[in-house]
Amino acid sequence: MKAAIVGTGVIGASWTALLLAHGHDVVATDPAPGAQDALRAAVAAHWPALRLTGLAEGASPDRLAFTRDASEAVADADFVQENGPERTEAKDRLFALLDEAAPPATVLASSSSGITPSRIQRACARHPERVLVGHPFNPPHLIPLVEVVPGGATSEEAVLSAMAVYRGLGRRPVRVRRELPGHLANRLQAALWREAYSLVASGAADVADLDAVIAHGPGLRWALLGPFANQHLSGGAGGIAHILAHLGPPTEEIWADLGAPRLTPELVRAIVAGVDEEFHDVDMAAVVADRDALLHLLITAKAATATLGGTTP
């Protein structure tokens, strides 16, 4: 497969490294000064982790080409992953160009976390049916999740083609069945952040304690199974039906008491100060390295299980 990566910032560089590691040819494009050097440096930085995961036959950073001309990058691409700015006017200009330049059957996937595919399709006069969102979770070269979101004009063929590409990259694509701001994962994250920020605002806990509560408590289980599956296991022989019968009413009481914070200047200062205090005298590069190393171990271990891993739905 020959893939085109449009936009080579943090997300685009991660996609690029993943595609190269799976033995594909990649043509990348980005108009920013120094973008090519930054991309090649990022690929080199990601390569050791991808080598641990396992490189495909023929995988090599040398299969990366770069051009500042987006039309040239997608002219003969089999798949396009766009990672441009999260601004509708920028997306309009970019997708009008991609729609004109890419082969008619080539899927145009956007990594957008906030702009819906139906909105993106407005700029595509030729083939809006091949446009969709393929939203990764950062960093895409390590985290398997990809949310595939079709727009109003997206064809079933394009959805199935994108799902197949992502599975071929060892990803775990999930089809989102209705267009929503933030898709699925970011909405779930936002719900957690909402209450975490509310607890800080009310003085119930500080930033470091709330990070500890998740990282050393439910976050460990959530890394293995989702919210419904975890509830089901918690219910013992009765499963989730038992949990809902016995803990449903108390849960509703908690829901009714959840906060609705606003990001006031005071709360923003409190959050920033709390994070600064939490990571005072901590080597953040070491934190990122440890995080990525453990992510690799966890993903590898999950994939080796009979029930908890794997990338196929």
Parse the chain into domains and list their residue ranges. 2-175, 185-282
- The C-alpha angle 231, 232, 238, rounded to 5 degrees, equals 125
Q: Give residue-wise pLDDT tens across range 258-298.
A: 999 999 999 999 999 999 999 999 999 999 889 988 988 99
SS3 165: helix
3-state secondary structure the chain: CEEEEECCCHHHHHHHHHHHHCCCEEEEECCCCCHHHHHHHHHHHHHHHHHHHCCCCCCCHHHEEEECCHHHHHCCCCEEEECCCCCHHHHHHHHHHHHHHCCCCCEEEECCCCCCHHHHHCCCCCCHHHEEEEEECCCCCCCCEEEEEECCCCCHHHHHHHHHHHHHCCCEEEECCCCCCCCCHHHHHHHHHHHHHHHHHHCCCCHHHHHHHHHCCHHHHHCCCCHHHHHHHHCHHHHHHHHHHHHHHHHHHHHHHCCCCCCCHHHHHHHHHHHHHHCCCCCHHHHHHHHHHHHHHHHHHHHCCCCCCCCCC
Mean pLDDT, rounded, for 122-128: 97
| CATH class, 185-282 region | mainly alpha
CA distance 270 to 277: 10
pLDDT confidence band for 250 (50 / 70 / 90): very high
Residue with tokens 């019968």: 245
Q: Which residue has the higher pLDDT, 310 or 266?
A: 266
CA distance 146 to 130: 17
Q: Give residue-wise pLDDT tens across range 50-106.
A: 998 899 999 999 999 999 999 999 999 999 999 999 999 999 999 999 999 999 999
Q: Give residue-wise pLDDT tens across range 17-30.
A: 999 999 999 999 99
pLDDT confidence band for 139 (50 / 70 / 90): very high
Domain spanning 2-175 has what CATH number? 3.40.50.720
Kind plus residue range of the DSSP H or E element containing 289: helix 284-303
CA proximity to 52, closest of 289, 309, 312, 306: 289
- Whole-number pLDDT of residue 310: 61
